[in-house]
């Protein structure tokens, strides 16, 4: 009979890699296989330290600007998207580049451009400095997009023509926080043009819904993901809002057993850029201290797959 205290682990599903992240990682792996090392990657391909370190070991070199890349080696653009000026520069230098931008981010780029072509003033709901926001704002001339981060920003925004405004959003935001900002914008500008389909991606929404499903029954929520991963940070926030003590950890080494003293039921999830091996590592570490029973809680089924660039397909 086990002398370890019992611990029920509710595993949120879906969790971990989304289709856009999976595609981006495959692009780097296949580029290395096809062209040999090194393959350069502009910005972290996805925001996860373990993913980046594994790709470095395979031969990827991560840089922040194209100026750091030699013109005779392939360069991959990260899943977050890039300003229009980046592929223009790559073509001018006759570089071979592979665009790993998530197709759902590209959809937001297309929407923003369509609104701009129609003469609308564009609001982007997102977080300043995030590469996805930088990439989306960089699709259009400087000053064409106004960034809104909070309800207060939405209430203070003064467009040139209140009857001719549109909004788009970063794909990895909190669904609830974004809804509050959209409500504030729509209350002020009833004619504001909205996306045909919500910009917050299916994977972000599904992972937040899964957390809500378990958080009110979990005393503690562990979220696997890196601190610079927007969607992972949002998962911890959603868990706290639902009543759980939520902790964002990179891997099993980040687990503090003091958090679990007197606790009998916890939730575990992973951000869209966190590999499943990190979840397995946490479960193994918990099993060292507790008699663990795992309850997988399905909130949604995901079947989305994105095609690879033709040059790498097959």
Positions marked active-site = 132
CA distance 167 to 115: 9
């Amino acid at each position: 009979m086990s002398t370890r205290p019992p611990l029920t682990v509710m595993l949120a599903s879906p969790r971990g890699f989304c289709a856009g992240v999976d595609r981006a990682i495959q692009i780097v792996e296949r580029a290395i296989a096809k062209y040999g090392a090194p393959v350069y990657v502009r910005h972290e391909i996805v925001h996860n330290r373990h993913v980046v370190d594994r790709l470095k070991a395979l031969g990827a070199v991560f840089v922040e600007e194209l100026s750091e890349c030699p013109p005779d080696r392939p360069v991959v653009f990260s899943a977050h998207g890039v300003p229009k000026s980046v592929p223009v520069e790559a073509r001018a230098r006759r570089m071979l580049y592979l665009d790993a931008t998530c197709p759902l981010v590209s959809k937001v780029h297309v929407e923003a451009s369509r609104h701009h072509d129609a003469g609308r003033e564009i609001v982007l709901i997102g977080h300043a400095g995030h590469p996805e926001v930088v990439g989306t704002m960089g699709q259009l001339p400087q000053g064409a997009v106004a960034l809104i981060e909070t309800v207060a920003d939405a209430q203070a925004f003064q467009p040139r023509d209140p009857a001719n405004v549109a909004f788009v959003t970063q794909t990895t935001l909190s669904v609830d926080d974004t809804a509050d900002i959209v409500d504030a914008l729509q209350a002020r500008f009833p004619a504001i043009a909205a996306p045909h389909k919500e910009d917050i991606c299916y994977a972000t929404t599904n992972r937040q819904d899964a957390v809500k499903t378990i958080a009110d029954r979990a005393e503690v929520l562990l979220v696997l993901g890196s601190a610079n991963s927007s969607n992972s940070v949002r998962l911890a926030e959603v868990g706290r809002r639902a009543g759980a003590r939520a902790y964002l950890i990179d891997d099993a080494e980040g687990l503090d057993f003091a958090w679990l003293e007197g606790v009998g039921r916890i939730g575990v999830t992973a951000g869209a850029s966190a590999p499943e091996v990190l979840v397995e590592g946490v479960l193994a570490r918990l099993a060292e201290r507790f008699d663990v029973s795992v309850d997988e809680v399905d909130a949604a089924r995901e079947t989305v797959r994105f095609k690879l660039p033709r040059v790498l397909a097959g």
